[in-house]
Structure 1
């Protein structure tokens, strides 16, 4: 989820709770060994035992098509203390695919296998290597070949997004196809795609046959979803509004002023799907671009909300 789920949002979402593990946004690998500063910039959790401030483990995700280069970068990540290394074979972005990254590699199961195998050999046995794939690039013809190749290469687990690259993010996700993959391999398979609610999650688990889920846009749109799946209440809107403002403070040192307001409105827009209060907040700031003015407007709204629903603080 490049451009959405960065380390500051991981920080905020894991404060809510219910999340077992995060995966970083993808780190592009082309033809060189990246310097440590690049990894620390994209995944500052490496400086803290590969954990968010709330203590949630974070696995580093690599994207690329050169097995040797990916292996070298995975080895460096292991040296820097990464909890694990995840390999991206699922990104549907046109720019990424044009440069032989993400879901386009699913047309080449042999290459997918070689990438996973090279990374597995490059990192210590105690460092798990996982992969995420879609059902395919343009169709599902090589779906099982890819899954079996990933397993044979030594991956510890496989996340499957229940759509092809061509299907993008258009509903539905084909969870029953994930069940076919789960039946074809012995490694743990984690279902992903179009899970926006507890009801969605229950159907996904039933149709896929999986016992674990990866949440993406659904969790960003409803930060309490992971807690709800455990039978616990998520945070009320006043707390989420406080978290939104906290996110604005966290991104201030590293995001250019002209982009900060857009980041806040981007997340607020996604929150509207699950929280009626977010609609009022969005209407209050939609014409604003300055992050400081947006925060002032949100603070004024927060002051009108019940005092007993205290906001999260840094």
Structure 2
């Protein structure tokens, strides 16, 4: 691999996983360019402020950003254009600097209730929703963006859905490189994002199965997109955005993220979450995160096997090892494989 021009990196919204604490921890090193909240479900009413603040406490900051200054975009999910537009305006009044629309959620419950990826079966509905929100927000000076998949059951309307979002007024489009039917099963079809990118004039952002620096390079090459959005890959390797940024800037690869760095972020997460959740719930959330790490890291897999039946928080944290600060001061490797 060789050095490339910089591209932006976003943190994907993951329901039940990426919350205010996770956003703060994963953005702390400054490598992420923006993050997106879990979706706020809109049906047919104007939601109270507390709903927006529950999903996005960062609305109460001046810049609607994490502690490190990383912008947080608020995501809405629904199918009623008027209700979505009204709630987008409410979000702006509460402090939102950008509103994202979810057309990609594959959850059966969401799809049964006419939300998320279900709208991809009719591209004209994507256009109508995006246009309604874009027109409502334009006088307020903020943009609407959208996230889609490559379709619901198949890819035959993927281009039409992307064009519908653009013509509706989306400022950028994130594309998860699978259909709703494909869920999260590999492979991700990055080349299909390339077809979309070639047809649109707005920025297109590649998403799906970017776990490593090598995956990033393949996704970028096949999609033609300079920008990417990371999801599960950031949970598996909390330094993934950092290593991508380092390579962009210096053309060299950082060593593998040490276990100490992974343990440190899990300790920090537990410390924050135990303040307002029962300890057994915190343990369950830690297991969920460690489970994402274990598939691609031998020590994480060993720790998960040893801790999977632990129910007491103190025991679980002890099993992770001491909370010692981790650094990236190990020898670096440049793009040719030589130590720097």
Q: TM-score, normalised by structure 1?
A: 0.92
Q: Is the 8 A contact 1:16 1:235 kept in 2?
A: no
Q: Is the 8 A contact 1:198 1:225 kept in 2?
A: yes
- Structure of higher RCO (CA pairs closer than 8 Å, 6+ residues apart): 2
Aligned to 1:267: 289
Q: Decide whether aligned partners of structure 1 residues 6 and 208 sit closer, same or farther in structure 2, where only a CA change above 3 A counts.
A: same
Q: Distance in 1 between matches of 2:69 and 2:269?
A: 18
Aligned to 1:59: 73
1:101 aligns with 2:115: yes
Deviation at residue 69 of structure 1 after TM alignment: 0.5
Aligned to 1:127: 142
Given the alignment, which residue of 312, 317, 322 partners 1:302? 322
Q: Deviations over 1:166-211 (max 9, x none)?
A: 1111110111111111111111100111111111111111111111
Aligned counterparts, 1:249-268, within 5 A = 249-268=271-290
| Range with greater deviation from structure 2 (85-94 or 49-58) | 49-58
Aligned to 1:4: 17
Aligned to 1:293: 315
1:18 aligns with 2:40: no
Q: Gaps (5+ residues) in structure 2?
A: 1-13, 248-253, 328-340
Regions of 4+ moved over 4 Å: none
Aligned counterparts, 1:221-240, within 5 A = 221-231=236-246, 233=254, 236-240=258-262
CA RMSD of superposed structures (Å): 1.7
Q: Distance in 2 between matches of 1:168 and 1:254?
A: 32
1:193 aligns with 2:215: no
Deviation at residue 308 of structure 1 after TM alignment: 6.8
Deviation at residue 293 of structure 1 after TM alignment: 3.1
Deviation at residue 244 of structure 1 after TM alignment: 0.5
2:100 counterpart SS class: strand
Deviation at residue 235 of structure 1 after TM alignment: 5.3
Given the alignment, which residue of 147, 164, 169 partners 1:149? 164
Q: Distance in 2 between matches of 1:256 and 1:24?
A: 23
1:160 counterpart SS class: strand
Q: Deviations over 1:97-124 (max 9, x none)?
A: 0011111100121111111011111124
Q: Distance in 1 between matches of 2:173 and 2:140?
A: 17
Given the alignment, which residue of 208, 211, 224 partners 1:209? 224
Deviation at residue 255 of structure 1 after TM alignment: 3.0
2:27 counterpart SS class: helix
1:241 counterpart SS class: helix
Deviation at residue 125 of structure 1 after TM alignment: 5.0
Q: Distance in 2 between matches of 1:73 and 1:100?
A: 17
Q: Gaps (5+ residues) in structure 1?
A: none
Aligned to 1:89: 103
Q: Distance in 2 between matches of 1:279 and 1:140?
A: 35
1:302 counterpart SS class: coil
Deviation at residue 283 of structure 1 after TM alignment: 3.1
Given the alignment, which residue of 26, 29, 48 partners 1:35? 48
Q: TM-score, normalised by structure 2?
A: 0.85
Q: Is the 8 A contact 1:260 1:290 kept in 2?
A: no
2:73 counterpart SS class: strand
Q: Distance in 2 between matches of 1:210 and 1:235?
A: 26
Number of aligned residues: 305
Deviation at residue 273 of structure 1 after TM alignment: 2.8
1:245 aligns with 2:267: yes
Q: Distance in 1 between matches of 2:301 and 2:322?
A: 14
